[in-house]
């Protein structure tokens, strides 16, 4: 999310140094983008442990292939998100769609009271519902929703990261949210407009 010209210069310098093999530059890029990439990956896969593993793989790939990165008018994050997307896809191909952990395993956690477990279960159920509903989206809609809400990118940043135009991102987001609403509340009654005199 590098919108400030000073930030862009810092990133350009870090990338240049990383391409020359300077370890502190790799560390700087890692620190700058880890949380952002982790949120994106976590939103895509739904498992914190799996997201940590995949995010680590993303930065390993970055380290291995930074020398191939070239500035082509897109921010460094576009390249990094492409690596993240590819790692998530590879992981799904190797391991199937989602891994789940039995709720009974939560009992074994020490220092957690019942209300914390209930809250965690509610959040997990909500995320499971969202992830299931995400299956109803097209790949492009899923990508836009993940970048916008999983990573917190703006419309223009999402457009850059996905190689789309701003209007296309807005349309994909709108259609995706509409599908998610239908998928998450399939039997919701249609709300009839109130007409004067009906009350």
Domains, the chain:
1-98 (1.10.1740.10), 113-186 (1.10.10.10)
**pLDDT mean by block of 10 residues, the chain; 199 residues:** 67 90 90 90 81 91 89 84 88 67 44 53 59 79 82 81 86 86 66 47
* CA distances (Å), origin 137, targets 16, 72, 79: 38, 30, 24
Hey, is 165 helix, strand or coil?
A: coil
- Whole-structure pTM value: 0.59
Task: Determine the pLDDT at residue 162.
Answer: 79
Task: Determine the pLDDT at residue 5.
Answer: 60
Task: Determine the pLDDT at residue 192.
Answer: 46
Q: Is 193 left (phi over 0), alpha (psi -120 to 50) or beta?
A: beta
Task: Determine the pLDDT at residue 103.
Answer: 43
Any idea which residue has 């793989």 for tokens? Answer: 57
């Amino acid at each position: 999310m590098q919108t400030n010209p000073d930030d862009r210069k810092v990133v350009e310098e870090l990338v240049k140094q990383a391409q020359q093999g300077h370890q502190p530059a790799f560390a700087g890029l890692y620190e700058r983008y880890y949380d952002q990439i982790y949120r994106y990956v976590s939103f895509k896969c739904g498992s914190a442990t799996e997201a940590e593993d995949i995010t680590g793989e993303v930065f390993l790939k970055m380290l291995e292939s930074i020398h191939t990165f070239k500035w082509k008018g897109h921010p460094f994050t576009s390249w990094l998100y492409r690596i993240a997307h590819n790692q998530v896809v590879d992981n799904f191909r190797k391991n199937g769609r989602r891994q789940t952990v039995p709720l009974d395993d939560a009992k074994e956690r020490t220092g957690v009271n019942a209300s914390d477990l209930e809250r965690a279960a509610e959040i997990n159920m909500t995320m499971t519902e969202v992830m299931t509903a995400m299956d109803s989206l097209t790949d492009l809609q899923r990508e836009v929703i993940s970048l916008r809400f999983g990573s917190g990118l703006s419309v223009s940043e999402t457009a850059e990261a996905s190689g789309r135009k701003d209007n296309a991102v807005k349309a994909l987001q709108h259609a995706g949210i509409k599908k998610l609403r239908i998928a998450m509340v399939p039997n919701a009654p249609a709300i009839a407009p109130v007409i004067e005199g009906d009350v």
